[in-house]
Amino acid sequence: MSSDALPTGAHVRPPRAIKALGAVCMLTALSASCGTPAGPAPRMYPLTGRTRMVELTAQDVRWEVGPSAIYNAWTYNGTIPGPVIDAVAGDRIVIRLSNPTAHPVSIHTHLVEFAQSEDGADLPSIAMPGQTITVTWTPRYAMTVPYHDHATHEGVRRGLVGALVVHAPDERPATEHVVVLSDLDSAEFAQLPGVADPVTGMIPAGGTFRGPHQYMHVINGKAYEESIAPYMGRVGSLSRWRVVSIGVEAHTWHIHGHRWVDADGTLTDNIQLSPGTYRTFELTPELPGNWMVHCHFPNHAEGGMVTRYVVAPQ
């Protein structure tokens, strides 16, 4: 992808967007124990001189996690997760965050350069009710990382999460999948279809009880196969997965019938991510089918983290 393929100015896209964009950077392969790369050293890219302008507005919405499952959400731009923010390594990203809500909101991210005064954890980088703030990020590496609220302990579990995707200027084309894994607070649901009436003990007509974790664990803000759009691929066509875990529990990402080489050189089909961690990997599908994709913690899959990977023949 050429560096002029992305226009200067606002550049955000829906969380489920799938594009032919380029290659992986195994930046998250850094060893937690010694701080040295487990694979090739990450590459720092030069500044491009381009500025990406991003407009975000905090919005409190009733978010449909699934049919008749309604959550009292705090969001960026009205969705869980917020819009994917795209940039090329070396760009300057200027985010204008407006907060018309009654609670403080901020935006914080990982691995990019920014001033401490724009960290999102302290004033003045917290937008108080009625305020608008501006923060500037300079990503120098190709990566996929979360962005999220840091103004309160409640913001992330209420839905103030998203993904920042920073592309390498020379990345190779691939079908891209952005995956944001997060957890919701069962106490903040306005409505759940499988909750029994406290007096009669009966579940309302049309409601299905899915277990004690129902609708609590979500993929891109949705739960279960009827609400999460399937990921699409084709045999022989490169597929890039950008997976971000930004909730309160650890998760795994398991793709049935496929395998890839992880950042540490291990052959795998299932990766584990703690809260606030992220992984980018590539695979080339070999067999067509309607494959299950899910978190391998049983209560998380039962709670909503399950969908499909539909691979078409070559």
pLDDT digits (tens, 9 = 90+) for 193-207: 988 888 888 887 778
Distance between CA atoms of 77 and 180, rounded to whole angstroms?
16
What 3-state class would DSSP assign to 279?
strand
Distance between CA atoms of 239 and 290, rounded to whole angstroms?
15
Distance between CA atoms of 177 and 57, rounded to whole angstroms?
25
- Mean pLDDT computed over 264-291: 96
pTM confidence score: 0.86
Q: Which residues pair with 294 in a beta bridge?
A: 254, 306
- Mean pLDDT computed over 44-64: 97
pLDDT digits (tens, 9 = 90+) for 175-195: 999 999 999 999 999 999 988
Number of H helices, E strands in the chain: 2, 24
Picking from 128, 124, 147, the residue whose alpha carbon sits closest to that of residue 137 is: 147
Picking from 86, 64, 116, 118, the residue whose alpha carbon sits closest to that of residue 8 is: 86
What 3-state class would DSSP assign to 93?
strand
pLDDT at 15 over 50: no
Q: Which fold has domain 3-312?
A: Immunoglobulin-like (2.60.40)
pLDDT digits (tens, 9 = 90+) for 116-150: 999 999 999 999 999 999 999 999 999 999 999 99
Residue 216 vs residue 8, higher pLDDT: 216
Residues 6+ apart with CB under 8 A from 185: 157, 158, 216
